[in-house]
Amino acid sequence: MAEQDQTTPPYWRWIPTSFALAGIIVFIFATFGPPASSSGFVSVLKGFFQAAAPEYIADKTHYQAIPGPGSWLMAFVLGMAIGGFIAGRTSKRIPVRDMPPIWEKRFGPSRIKRYAATFLGGFLILLGSRLAGGCTLGLFISGSTQLAVSGLYFGVIIFGVAMLTARLIFGKMERTETMDDIE
């Protein structure tokens, strides 16, 4: 446990980063409108069906309500992937890994198990997001920025339930878990 590493975490500090993200969000409000990312999933599927099965989405409200490829929403999620790629490639210290150490410690090194779990997790977050009309960004952050009660209500519950779920999954590891003791 190198002492100098302890004092210099690889991440940006949270206060300046909050200003950076708020700047981006205000820019988005000024140039587009409320930022959203779960709608990008609908745009992707809409693009797929427009090419593969246009008759299927012709009378589907959900696909009619969200613009397809070529929209800001779709460009935004693709941009997120590009931004993540650039950030990942230019950071020497933030590790990119396929499996969180905390997961490996709790469930073992099976990649299939982890990928099945994230598939299920991804399924649930989008099912919830599409029902509510937005996600962490599109409903909690965008909504609260606009003082929407829906965003505050959604935000309180997602944090509470995620904390409870993490506690149920990882159990007692909670007290001992650190970044460095996975070896």
Partner 1 sequence: MTKVWLGLFSGIAFGYVIQRIGATDAHRMARSHLMLDSDIPRFMVLATALSALGLFGLQAVGIGRTLVLPTSLVATGLAAVIFGIGWGIAGYCPGTTWAAAGEGRMDAVFALIGGLAGTLLFAHFHEVLIPLLYDPTNVGQITLTDLFGSYAIAVGVLAIGFGFCAWGIGKVWGERMRVVEFRQGHGESSSSPSE
161 binds partner 1 (CB under 8 A): yes
Query: Residues 13 to 42: which contact partner 1 by CB under 8 A?
Result: 14-15, 17-35, 37-38, 40-42
68 binds partner 1 (CB under 8 A): no
Question: Which residue in 51, 53, 58, 60 binds partner 1 (CB under 8 A)?
Answer: 60
Q: How far is the CB of 68 from partner 1 (least distance, A)?
A: 12
Query: Residues 102 to 131: which contact partner 1 by CB under 8 A?
Result: 102-104, 109, 111, 114-131
53 binds partner 1 (CB under 8 A): no
d(CA 80, CA 135): 15
Tokens of 137: 């960004």
132 binds partner 1 (CB under 8 A): yes
Residue 66's Cβ-count burial label (10 Å; 0-12, 13-18, 19+) is buried
Amino acid of residue 126: L
Q: How far is the CB of 51 from partner 1 (least distance, A)?
A: 15
Tokens of 8: 């210099």
d(CA 171, CA 18): 30
172 binds partner 1 (CB under 8 A): no
d(CA 77, CA 75): 6
Amino acid of residue 93: R
10 binds partner 1 (CB under 8 A): yes
